[in-house]
Amino acid sequence: MKSRANSPTFAPHVTIHVSGKLFQGHLSYVEQLVQSAADCRLWPELNLSHLEELDRAALSFLIDGENRDFGIVSCPGFIREKMDHEGHAAA
């Protein structure tokens, strides 16, 4: 995925709602949405407030892409805890 040219602070935002389950098979579609937003010079923000379950591939996608390819808003506590735990373990 290409990196953003615009700073997320100054770019217009678009929210992508992700709900239910997020697994490896869904990631190409989410990546396509994120890339389409970037192509339109919009900063994509993933709203995860209704996300209930994710696999390791989706967790890695969120960790690797946050603040680089997209922002994350309304993240459930259990997902943020997993992200923080995995992010510290990888560092």
pLDDT, tens digit (0-9, with 9 covering 90-100), for 18-34: 999 999 999 999 999 99
- Sheet of 71-73, strand order: 13-22, 43-54, 71-73
Closest CA to 46 of 82, 27, 24, 89: 27
Asked whether the predicted pLDDT for residue 90 surpasses 70, the reply is no
Distance between CA atoms of residues 35 and 32, nearest Å: 5
Asked whether the predicted pLDDT for residue 6 surpasses 80, the reply is no
Sign of CA dihedral 10, 16, 22, 27: negative
pLDDT, tens digit (0-9, with 9 covering 90-100), for 36-75: 999 999 999 999 999 999 999 999 999 999 999 999 999 9
Report DSSP state, residue 66. B
Domains of the chain: 13-90 (3.30.750.24)
Mean pLDDT of the chain: 90
**More reliable by pLDDT, 5 or 8:** 8
